[in-house]
Amino acid sequence: MKIGILGGGQLGRMLLQAAANYTVETFVLENDALCPAAHLCHHFVLGDIRDYDTVYNFGKGLDAITIEIESVNVDALEQLQKEGIRVYPSPSAIRIIKNKIRQKEFYYHHQLPTSEYIITQNLADLEDHKSFLPAVHKVGEGGYDGKGVQVIKDETAMHSGFDAPSVLEKMVNIKKEIAVIVAMNDKGETAIYPPAEMVFDPILNLLDYQVSPAILPEKVLWKAEAIALKVVKELQSPGLFAVEMFVDDHDEVLVNETAPRVHNSGHHTIEANYSSQYDMLWRIMLQYPLGNTDPILPSAIVNILGAEGYSGNAKYEGLDDVLRMENVFVHLYGKEHTKPGRKMGHVTIMSKDYQDLTHKANKIKYMLRVIA
Ligand code: ADP
């Protein structure tokens, strides 16, 4: 079977690593010949995933196609789907998710719990909603990795909002941030991973540290699972989805956003779950039975980010010490250049003891540094 991936970043790379277990001919489209996935696929095509003709021509000879990022040309995927190429997730799901306004309205219309919101067209519009503060302003399209999100605590911060169609969301009193990965195949059968719990770096706004399965009261767990499952069923699309949710101070569960693809919150599943998120997506695309999502052991993920003050050819300080640690797995994404905050890799830690996970995660965060 011939299967294509739009995007050749680290997620594409890990997806291709899992492809090695199956008989599949892989194709990657990406506009950087040195991207993390380039040398792991059978056929690398240089080109822009946002361009209609490029995506259409890339996809037309394939059996199926998937994405590792939402900023793709959805019109081309729609045309390919019409011509019988299977697309995971379906173009209609990408269209909803790609735009934060449409995504938020989707939750609202399907009675999926999410924070209250207002749509703003520009900065002048935002000024009219002072009474809605404190809030979080999210740009409709083009935001990524925290760059399209602005916290607006009070009137004095209003100028930092977006002068483009955006969502203004009520600030949630977040107790926990969790993510639940849900898989759905062509027949509509689903599999659900245990939730992961995230801690964010308040400065870089990137996933900093994560533990899975999250420690949650049973009722919160049930709510989170039911909501994540409903999101995917209402999207009516096969594929793999990461549903990010907030648990607030009243133990209510609210959907934050959904990624319609393999996700950073699922890196640990490579070692820590019987079927990884990457393996699961291949099973779906190759139309095999779904895998077992059970955890083998609890796990933590630490991101390896470029250290402040260093830009250039990456060097990994402390790597030997990390590799010596028990039940610790290092994944480097093969990026030649580092810059402050760039995602260069991740480390997965496994242990039956949560305290051991936290201890090792913190130790690794300080031990391992990406310098130039
Ligand atoms: P991105 O798509 O860039 O990851 P998110 O929508 O996930 O952006 O927002 C990034 C972070 O901002 C969240 O992980 C959360 O910590 C915070 N955040 C987002 N929405 C809200 C909200 N309504 N209330 C409080 N904090 C929020």
Say if residue 254 is in the same domain as residue 184. Answer: yes
Domain-embedded: residue 234: yes
Q: Is the pLDDT of residue 244 over 70?
A: yes
Flag whether 270 is in a domain.
Answer: yes
Decide if pLDDT at 292 tops 70: yes
Answer yes or no: do 215 and 137 share one domain: no
Q: What is the mean pLDDT of residues 102-130?
A: 96
Ligand 1 contacts CB of residue 174 (under 6 A) = yes
pLDDT, tens digit (0-9, with 9 covering 90-100), for 16-67: 999 999 999 999 999 999 999 999 999 999 999 999 999 999 999 999 999 9
Q: At residue 202, does pLDDT exceed 90?
A: no
Q: Is the CB of 172 under 6 A from ligand 1?
A: yes
pLDDT for the residue numbered 208? 77
pTM: 0.95
Q: Is residue 93 domain-resident?
A: no
pLDDT(201) > 70: no
Residue 107 in domain: no
* Same domain flag for 182 and 50: no
CATH of the domain at 74: 3.40.50.20
Q: How far is the CA of 337 from the centre of ligand 1 (A)?
A: 28
- Of 129, 135, 131, 167, give the one whose Cα is nearest residue 148: 167
Asked if 242 contacts 181 with a C-beta cutoff of 8 angstroms, the reply is yes
* Structural domain includes residue 111: no
Whether residues 244 and 267 share a domain: the answer is: yes
**Candidates 100, 149, 208: which one to mutate for ligand 1, based on the most atoms within 8 Å of Cβ?**
149
Together in a domain, 248 and 314: yes
The enclosing domain of 165 has a CATH number of: 3.30.1490.20
Angle 43-49-52 from CA coordinates, rounded to 5°: 110
The structural domain count of the chain equals 3
The rounded Å distance from CA 62 to ligand 1 centre is: 36
Alpha helices of 200-310 — where are they, by DSSP H? 218-235, 269-272, 277-285
The C-alpha atoms of residue 290 and residue 71 are separated, in whole angstroms, by 27
Same domain, 244 and 277: yes
- DSSP reduced 3-state for 290: coil
Are the CB atoms for 153 and 133 separated by under 8 Å? yes
Q: Residues 46, 58: one domain?
A: yes
Distance from the alpha carbon of residue 331 to the mean position of ligand 1, in angstroms: 26
Together in a domain, 219 and 264: yes
**Residue 341 pLDDT:** 92
Distance (Å) from CA 115 to ligand 1 centroid: 11
163 and 249: one domain? no
**Residue 101 maps to a domain:** no
* CA 295 – CA 111 distance, rounded (Å): 30
**Pair 61, 132 in one domain:** no
> Domain range for residue 68?
2-88
Q: Which residue has the CA at smallest separation from atom 23 of ligand 1?
A: 171
Give per-residue pLDDT as tens, 88-111.
Answer: 999 999 999 999 999 999 999 999
Q: Do 166 and 181 share a domain, yes or no?
A: no
* 55-81 pLDDT per residue, tens: 999 999 999 999 999 999 999 999 999
**pLDDT tens profile 212-226:** 999 999 999 999 999
Tell me whether residue 129 is in a domain.
Answer: yes
Q: Tell whether ligand 1 has an atom less than 6 A from the beta carbon of residue 136.
A: yes
Q: Give the pLDDT score at 205.
A: 58
